[in-house]
């Protein structure tokens, strides 16, 4: 028997250079469990429609299950001459059970087979990532409880802007991760359509039952068009985008924490277990974990770019170019999963440097907007109030003092409505308590959100 599944019309063996260049089993062996699961479902369907006998079905199912156990135990030797994981498994099956094994591929092509395996693998990957993202959400919610009442400076343009509760800050990342989980779930719906049975590109004359296979493999439906099925990698690109979005969220968080760990900020202390030192400077504690999370985002973004470029301009239907999709997706998944796993204990174990934060919280006039809105509430137009408070901030800056340290006469000179009640709205804690809008950093509203997230994430 030829090493190739397509050698009948060929007079020359495959050149070793092409064999080495075109093999994919070195990376697509990761699909072995999905390939075996899909082949078992296919064999059962072939028996149900009369292509296989019950005895032949059982031989195939038993043989595939044994091969799966051997691969899992590291006792299976993959051969690059057989190109991919699919042919490696089928060839060993045929060597063990004879011609019955050669019947397994009836009614399918490697085109729809690999698409099925890949969809099954991505479906499993999505479920795993959802679990990891949920764990990280829980860690952030736990931090919101630990740091209740702590006030941080909020930033825009990396300049101090308004005060926010630390709990509000942590919940911002819970929200981002929730959108990531929603995108994963939405992507899963489109992944979860069965291509198997569309064969090479036009379907098959064998009276197969695709819905039976879809039901056994827990697909929500079957791909409707065989040409589309053979060429489609939308699901891989979409998964690549969701992975990239998760990575971008993690990278933004990592960048903030890298800044917060500096002496200049002094907001945060990471556990020593997640830092490294310098080979020359004894005092250094470097936040390498978060730096690498930020850095690894580059490869995830690059993988998405590679996937987009890969499918640009491919004609219908299948093209061998599509072999290049798996390494990019595998690498992005591995990278994002590792980042999520590392982020969770770092978030749980970090400590806010509360004394440092409190000592500098009054810098930056974080209560200026609250004072402006105090005037607006009293009837002063927003643009007018903005200009008046801006001038008062300018006065305080010249005196190098807080707004609350200005004399009452300076306030009343700015506007008659700025009487001695003005001191009741100045200061970061009063500013935080003054917020009223839904979604704001108001302590009562934040406490409600924390409790709501605890319930959602149980």
The pLDDT, as a whole number, for residue 429 is: 96
Mean pLDDT of 251-262: 97
pLDDT band at 13 (very low <50, low <70, confident <90, very high): confident
Claim to verify: residue 115 and residue 214 sit in the same structural domain = yes
Q: Domain for residue 156, yes or no?
A: no
Q: Which of 157, 279, 415, 437 is catalytic?
A: 157
Residue 1 has pLDDT above 50, yes or no: no
Q: Report yes or no on 157 lying in a domain.
A: no
pLDDT, mean of residues 167-173: 98
Instruction: Mention every residue, 6+ apart, whose C-beta is less than 8 A from residue 305.
Output: none
Q: Residue 109 region, left (φ>0) first, then alpha (ψ -120 to 50), else beta?
A: beta
Residue 182: inside a domain, yes or no? yes
Residues 96, 122, single domain; the answer is no
Supply the mean pLDDT for the chain: 96
Query: What does 129-186 look like in DSSP terms, one character per residue?
Result: HHHHHHHHHHHHHHHHHHTTT-EEEEEETTEEEEEEEHHHHHHHHHHHHHHHHHHHHH
Query: How far apart are the C-alpha atoms of 233 and 323, rounded to whole Å?
Result: 11
Residues 313 and 413 in one domain: no
Mean pLDDT computed over 220-224:
97
Per-residue pLDDT tens digits for 49-78: 999 999 999 999 999 999 999 999 999 999
pLDDT attached to residue 318: 94
- Among 303, 336, 358, where does a domain finish? 358
The answer as to whether 173 is a domain residue is yes
Residue 252 has pLDDT above 80, yes or no: yes
Q: How far apart are CA 407 and CA 280, in angstroms?
A: 52
Structural domain includes residue 218: yes
> Is the pLDDT score of 182 beyond 90?
yes
Residue 414 has pLDDT above 60, yes or no: yes
- Asked if the structure places residue 158 within a domain, the reply is no
Lowest mean pLDDT, pick from 10-14, 35-39, 312-316, 448-452: 10-14
Q: Would you call 157 a catalytic residue per the annotation?
A: yes
Cis bond leading into 302, ω under 30°? Answer: no
Q: What is the mean pLDDT of residues 378-400?
A: 96
Q: How far apart are CA 185 and CA 443, in angstroms?
A: 32
CATH number at residue 52: 1.10.275.10
Per-residue confidence (pLDDT) for residue 189, from 0 to 100: 98
Strands 221-222 and 193-194: parallel
Judge whether 298 lies within some domain: yes
Same domain, 179 and 53: no
The residue with tokens 């589309």 is 228
Q: Does one domain contain both 193 and 305? A: yes
- Gyration radius of the chain's alpha carbons: 30
Q: 224 in helix, strand or coil?
A: coil
28 burial (CB, 10 Å; 0-12 / 13-18 / 19+) is: buried
Question: Are 325 and 415 in a shared domain?
Answer: no
- Greatest alpha-carbon pair distance for the chain in Å reads 100
Q: Strands 159-165 and 151-156: what pairing? A: antiparallel
Please state the domain count of the chain.
Answer: 3
Is there a single domain that holds both residue 381 and residue 425? yes
* 42 belongs to the catalytic site: no
Give per-residue pLDDT as tens, 299-352. 999 999 999 999 999 999 999 999 999 999 999 999 999 999 999 999 999 999
Q: Are residues 314 and 289 in the same domain?
A: yes
pLDDT the model gives residue 6? 64
Q: Return the number of other C-beta atoms located less than 10 Å from residue 323's C-beta.
A: 17
- Kindly indicate the confidence band of residue 11, based on its pLDDT and cuts at 50, 70 and 90: confident
From the list 2, 22, 26, 278, the catalytic residue is 278
| Separation of alpha carbons 43 and 284, rounded Å | 61
Instruction: At 164, give phi and psi (nearest 5°).
Output: -140, 150
Show the beta-strand stretches assigned E in 157-287.
159-165, 193-194, 221-222, 268-269
Residue 71 Cα distances to 66, 68, 286, 339, angstroms: 9, 5, 41, 27
DSSP character for 81? Answer: G
Considering the domain architecture, whether residues 97 and 115 belong to the same structural domain is answered as: no
241, with CB counted inside 10 A (0-12, 13-18, 19+), is middle
Residues 116 and 247 in one domain: yes
Whichever domain contains 218, its CATH number is 1.20.200.10
218 and 342 share one domain: yes
In a domain, 3, yes or no: no
Q: Which domain range does residue 388 map to?
A: 365-456
Same-domain pairing of 124 and 230: yes
pLDDT of residue 14: 80
- Asked whether residue 113 carries a pLDDT value surpassing 60, the answer given is yes
CATH code, 430: 1.10.40.30
């Amino acid at each position: 028997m030829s090493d190739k599944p397509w050698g009948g019309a060929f007079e020359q063996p495959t050149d070793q250079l092409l064999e080495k260049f075109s093999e994919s089993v070195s990376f697509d062996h990761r699909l072995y469990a999905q390939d075996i699961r899909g082949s078992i479902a296919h064999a059962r369907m072939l028996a149900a429609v009369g292509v296989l006998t019950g005895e032949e079905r059982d031989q195939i199912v038993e043989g595939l299950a044994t091969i799966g156990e051997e691969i899992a135990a590291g006792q299976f030797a993959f051969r690059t001459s057989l190109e991919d994981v699919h042919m490696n498994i089928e060839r060993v099956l045929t060597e063990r059970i004879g011609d019955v094994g050669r019947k397994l591929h009836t009614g399918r092509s490697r085109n729809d087979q690999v698409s099925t395996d890949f969809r099954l693998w991505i479906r499993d990957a999505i479920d795993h990532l959802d679990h990891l993202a949920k764990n990280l959400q829980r860690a952030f919610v736990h931090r919101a409880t630990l740091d209740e009442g702590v006030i941080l400076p909020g930033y825009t343009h990396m300049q101090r802007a308004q005060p926010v509760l630390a709990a509000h800050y942590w919940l911002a990342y819970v929200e981002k991760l929730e959108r990531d989980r929603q995108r994963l779930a939405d992507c899963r719906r489109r992944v979860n359509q069965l291509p198997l049975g569309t064969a090479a590109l036009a379907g098959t004359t064998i009276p197969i039952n695709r819905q039976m296979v879809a039901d056994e493999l827990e697909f929500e439906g079957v791909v409707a068009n065989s040409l589309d099925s053979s060429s489609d990698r939308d699901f891989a690109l979409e998964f690549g985008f969701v992975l990239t979005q998760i990575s971008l969220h993690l990278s933004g968080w990592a960048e903030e924490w890298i800044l917060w760990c500096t002496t200049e900020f002094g907001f945060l202390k990471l556990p020593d277990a997640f830092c490294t030192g310098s080979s020359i400077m004894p005092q250094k504690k470097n936040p390498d974990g978060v730096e690498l999370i930020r850095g690894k985002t580059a490869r995830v973004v690059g993988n998405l770019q590679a996937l987009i470029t890969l499918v640009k301009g491919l004609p219908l239907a299948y093209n061998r170019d599509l072999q290049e999709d798996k390494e990019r997706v595998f690498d992005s998944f591995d990278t994002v999963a590792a980042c999520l796993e590392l982020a969770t204990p770092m978030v749980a174990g970090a400590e806010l440097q509360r004394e440092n934060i409190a000592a500098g919280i009054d810098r930056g006039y974080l209560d200026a907007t609250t004072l402006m809105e105090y005037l607006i509430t009293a009837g002063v137009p927003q643009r007018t109030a903005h200009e008046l408070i801006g001038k008062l901030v300018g006065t305080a800056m010249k005196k190098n003092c807080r707004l609350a340290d200005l004399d009452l006469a300076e306030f009343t000179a700015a506007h008659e409505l700025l009487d001695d009640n003005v001191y009741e709205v100045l200061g970061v804690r009063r500013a935080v308590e003054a917020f009223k809008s839904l979604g704001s950093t108001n302590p009562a509203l934040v406490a409600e959100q924390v409790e709501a997230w605890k319930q959602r994430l149980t």
